[in-house]
A = this chain, B = another copy of it.
Amino acid sequence: MSDGNLKSLEVCFTPALFKTFEVEGKIVVLVDILRATSTICTALHYGVREIIPVGSVKEAKRYKSLGYIVAGERNGKILPFADFGNSPFNFMNDRVAGQSIVYSTTNGTKAIQMAEGCSQLVIGSYLNHRVLTDWLLSQNKDVLVLCSGWKNKFNLEDTLFAGALCKTLLKSHKFKTICDSVLASVDLWQLAQKDILAYIQKAAHRNRLRKLGLDDVLQYCHTFDAAPVVPLYKGNSIFAG
C-alpha cells in the first residue's frame, strides 16, 4: 500500500485537548481503562443489551425514577441512588443480562458525549484489544484514540493502552502517524509491557484506587481479550457491534 493510502493515527491524551483535533470522518476509540471502557466491554460481553451513557448525576437520577437499572460513580464512589458502581465485576451476572443499563462515571461517559460528530465511536480496552484492532483494520478510516484521563489531566493507564493499540495498528502498515502523542504512548507501552501491573503501580490513579479500596479490578482490566466485543455508540446507546 502506498503512503498516500495509509490512514492517519492520532492519540488525544485528555478530553480537554479534544477540540484541537479534527474528527470528521474519523473513528474515535474511547479509552478509560480504570474503569468505564473495561466495564462496558465486560457488560456487553456478558449479555447486557445496551449501555446508555449519561453525563450528569441529575440525568442518571431521572432514568432511575423511570425504572432503569443505573450504574454510576463519582470520584470512584458509587452514586447513592445507583444500583451499583462501575466495577466490571458487577456486570458478570444474570441480573443484568438482556437489560438496558444507564451508566454515568467521572470521566468516561462525559468523553463519550464529547466525541459526537465523528464518523463512529467505539469503545476500547485491553479486554477487547484483538477484536477491536481487527475491526479498526477492516474499516479503512482514520483513527483517533481519545483517552479519558483523570479530570481532564493526562493519565498513564489510558496512555499505555493507547500505545498498545497504536503499536498493533502501525505494525499492520495500514496506518501512518505524525502525531507526537502516538509516538510517546507507543514508547511508554514498550517500556511497560513486560510487566504492566508493576509499571502501573506508580501511576497516580493507582494510588487513588488503593485509597478507595477499589484496586481489585486492576489485574482484570489489564487482561488482553477477556471480553471480545466491539462496543459501538449508535443513537444514544452502546451496543455490541
State the A residues within 8 Å of B (CB): 13-14, 16-17, 19-20, 150-156, 159, 178-181, 183-184, 187-188, 191, 202-205, 207
Query: Which of B17, B19, B159, B191 is the one whose CB lies under 8 Å from A17?
Result: B17
A17 touches B16 (CB 8 A): yes
Number of copies: 2
Q: Are B191 and A187 in contact (CB under 8 A)?
A: yes
Q: A20 near B156 (CB under 8 angstroms)?
A: no
Shortest Cβ gap from A152 to chain B (Å): 5
Residues of B within 8 A of A205 (CB): 180
Question: In the complex the two chains form, is B20's CB within 8 Å of A153's CB?
Answer: yes
Decide yes or no: A178 and B159 within 8 Å by CB, A13-B154, A17-B154, A154-B13 being known contacts.
no
Given known pairs A153-B180, A178-B204, A184-B156, the reply for A20 and B16 (CB within 8 Å) is yes
A153 and B181 contacting across the interface, CB-CB below 8 Å: yes
